[in-house]
Amino acid sequence: MKYYTSTSDVQCGVPPIPPNEMSSNIVGGEEARPNSWPWMAEVIKTPTHHYCGGALLDEQWVVSAAHCFKGHISEYWFSLGGHWSASYYPSDYETNRQTCRALKIIQHPNYDENVRGYDIALVKLAEKVTFNDYAQPVCLPDKRPDDGQMVYVTGWGDVEYEGSSANKLRQVSLPIVSDRECEWVYGRQKIDDTMICAGTDSGGKDSCNGDSGGPMVEKVVQGSGFQKREFWALVGIVSWGSGCGYPGIPGVYTDVDNMRSWIEDTMANN
């Protein structure tokens, strides 16, 4: 295992093990390549029960969904670097896991569970995460992804609607759905500027229960030749939807580009 002596040794969004960019999926799908999404965080209760997902932003901050946090701060544990779900193996089963408590959980002040907008929370961990080949940060986006852009969602959620949860980390590749199409499905009043949608007309691919708070990432390519740089940016957070993998019904995610200023200001001031 490689450890990094300083944060400057680590570039955000560049996993040491490249993800398998095949069309695998969470609902009814396949396992992700172990440790290929090193920013993937697991929100745990009790502390051996998988509850939600999240994404590591730096040594001490994880971003997740606001709706994941309804209890007292002491109820939640946060794990980085694991491939198995905590529901199937305790957090100390994988020696590369780093598990700790939260110092602060900050929900967006405009979050309303009845409206579902601004579904984002920042978690300041009680201890700093050690960056290594299993735990590294994801980048924040410079822009919202274009309609039709392929993105990836990862999580330990249910493999089918009202089914069993995944024992190992899974991934799904989905296209971004336009706001207009998403509003046609859910109604204009339910989809606001803080949301972004992704899904397929044919269905069968989706995030599901237990994936809440987990990352939706886009592969970004900048420059060319020797100046070419590829990295993954966090463009969405699993928020809500109707069922899992139903044809023509996209999942709804928090639009991270819209939330970027709040994320950066909150981290800087806390």
What are the catalytic residues?
67, 119, 212
Residue found under tokens 């601004």: 118
Does residue 47 have a cis peptide bond before it, meaning omega lies within 30 degrees of 0? yes
Residue found under tokens 């080949």: 133
Report d(CA 195, CA 255) in Å as an integer.
5
Sheet with strand 40-45: strands edge to edge:
98-100, 76-80, 40-45, 49-56, 61-64, 121-125, 102-107
Report d(CA 83, CA 92) in Å as an integer.
12
The conformation of residue 112, written as its DSSP 8-state character, comes to: -
CB 238 within 8 A of CB 211: yes
Report d(CA 154, CA 216) in Å as an integer.
7
The conformation of residue 144, written as its DSSP 8-state character, comes to: P
* Largest pairwise CA distance in the chain: 50
Q: Tell which residue, 53, 56, 85, has the closest CA to residue 69.
A: 53
Query: How many residues in the chain?
Result: 270
Q: Which two tokens stand for residue 75?
A: 């109820």
78-112 in b/e form (b: 16+ CB < 10 A) is bbbbbbbbbbebebeebeebbbbebeebbbbeebe
